[in-house]
Amino acid sequence: MQNLKIILNTNLKKKPDATTKLGFGKKFTDHMFTMIYKEGKGWHNAQIQPYSHIAFDPATTIFHYAQGIFEGLKAYKNEKDEILLFRPEENFKRLNASARRMCIPEIDEKFALQALSKLLEIEKDWIPTAEGTSLYIRPSIIATNVALGVHPSIEYLFFIILSPVGSYYKKGLAPIKLLVEDFYVRAAVGGTGAVKCIGNYGASLKVAENAIQHGCDQVLWLDANEHKYLEEVGSMNIFVVIDDTVITPALTGSILPGITRKSCIELLRASGYRVEERDISIEEVIDAQETGSLTEMFGSGTAAVVSPVGSFQYKYKEYTIGNGCMGQVAQFLYSVLTGMQYGKIEDKFNWSYNVTKKAKQEI
């Protein structure tokens, strides 16, 4: 492994009680991983160090031009007290895809996973074990050059922070309500919608706020060209079930290629479900709703796992899906995915990454 310096924190925080509501991304552990990049020198100074503030010059590129990317994954503990990750290689692969789109130098994916594993071993006691909880992992890369010219930075900081979390939505697994947005757009083909860059999320805030003012939980984005086809939800990919076929928008360049999305598709196909990745218009969804063939809608994402959608609002009209409860397909996916993530069911797909076992093999 590339050199990884470890500076242990001697001033440890009190860990939150995982049986009370942890919320999402409010508490952070005692350590973080950092690594810096300088043009001509490449990525260097990899270290695990006490979690701390980071200070930058006000003229730093990240503050002005949002040249920054991130990932989200989770760590779980199984009954043997081993640390498990879910398809982490996919996250570092996607981080590099985001890096290429944002002119950020790529990282060594294998090393990043080894460094994360080390960080998790140090922070093992922060992984909550109550049902529905996990340790959320946020790898980020930001441009740290001090310059106001609009050009790619020549310096970067890669950091990984950890946060014990409960469910993403305050309502937990209770079905959410979506506002179908027919004016504002999330991303156009050719833009940055297919990567995880920070600007995508900042640009969505106004619309998310509007959804809340309309009594909804999140936005369901439509395509930028015709405001007609489903794209994704604020922090999730979207699925609908019509006439026993599970349909999700195809990855046409403006949608984030979710790892949970991909896992749901693979899992459903392997279990005999018919799955279509294709354009799906809001009219098709409403027609199916009106004829009774729309039986489910749900979102998928690392933070949200599988989240049922009970109703949606479009052009001031409200539609309740089925009986407004979590449907059978969403329930199936939620149980199997979380079962694999917590190491409770057989991992037929080899998606689980056992940090503890790998560390023992390396000794």
Q: Sign of the CA dihedral 230, 231, 233, 238? A: positive
Q: What beta strand segments (E) does 10-154 contain?
A: 31-38, 42-50, 68-70, 73-77, 83-86, 134-143
Nearer to ligand COI, 155 or 231 (CB): 231
Fill in the amino acid letter for 195: V
Residue 356 contacts ligand COI per CB under 6 A:
no
302, 307, 341, 356: which one binds ligand COI (CB under 6 A): 302
Residues 67-96 that bind ligand COI (CB under 6 A): 72
301 belongs to the binding site for ligand COI (CB under 6 A): yes
Q: CA 85 to CA 87: how far, in whole Å?
A: 6
**Alpha carbons 196 and 108: distance in angstroms, whole number:** 18
Decide: 285 and 320 in contact? Cβ < 8 Å.
Answer: no
Helix (H) or strand (E) holding 238: strand 236-242
Q: Is residue 349 a contact partner of residue 268, using CB atoms and an 8 Å limit?
A: no
Which tokens sit at 210? 């509007």
> Per CB under 6 A, which region of 114-122, 158-166, 187-195, 295-303 contacts ligand COI?
295-303
Smallest separation (angstroms) from ligand COI to the CB of 193: 14
Strand partners, 164: 135
Cβ proximity to ligand COI, 70 vs 319, nearer residue: 70
Site for ligand COI in 192-251 (CB under 6 A): 201, 235
Q: Which of the ranges 247-255, 264-272, 286-294, 298-306 carries the binding residues for ligand COI, by CB under 6 A? A: 298-306
Chain residue at closest Cβ approach to ligand COI: 72
C-alpha to C-alpha distance for 38 and 61, rounded to whole angstroms: 14
User: Please, which residue, 145 or 167, has the CB nearer to ligand COI?
Assistant: 167
Nearest-approach distance from CB 235 to ligand COI, in angstroms? 4
Long-range contacts of 343-346 (CB under 8 A, 24+ apart): 343/76, 343/78, 343/79, 343/80, 343/82, 343/84, 344/78, 344/79
- The span of 34-42, 204-212, 296-304, 321-329 binding ligand COI (CB under 6 A) equals 296-304
316 token code pair: 């001031």
Long-range contacts, 261-265 (Cβ 8 Å, 24+): 261/237, 261/300, 261/301, 262/90, 263/86, 263/87, 263/300, 263/337, 263/349, 263/351, 264/239, 264/300, 264/306, 264/333, 264/337
- Whichever of 67 and 235 has its CB closer to ligand COI, that residue is 235
Site size toward ligand COI (CB under 6 A) is: 6
CB of 74 to ligand COI, least distance (A): 8
Q: Is 45 helix (H, G, I), strand (E, B) or coil?
A: strand
Say whether residue 303 binds ligand COI (CB under 6 A).
yes
Q: Find the part of the chain contacting ligand COI (CB under 6 A) among 53-61, 95-103, 207-215, 299-307.
A: 299-307
Task: Give the nearest distance from C-beta 260 to ligand COI in angstroms.
Answer: 8
- Residue 83 Cβ vs ligand COI, minimum distance, rounded to whole Å: 18
Closest approach of ligand COI to the CB of residue 244, in Å: 28
**CB closer to ligand COI out of 192 and 235:** 235
Least distance (Å) from ligand COI to the CB of residue 24? 7
User: Is the Cβ of residue 201 or residue 332 nearer to ligand COI in the bound state?
Assistant: 201
Residues forming beta bridges with residue 127, ordered by sequence position: none
Residues that bind ligand COI (CB under 6 A): 72, 201, 235, 301-303
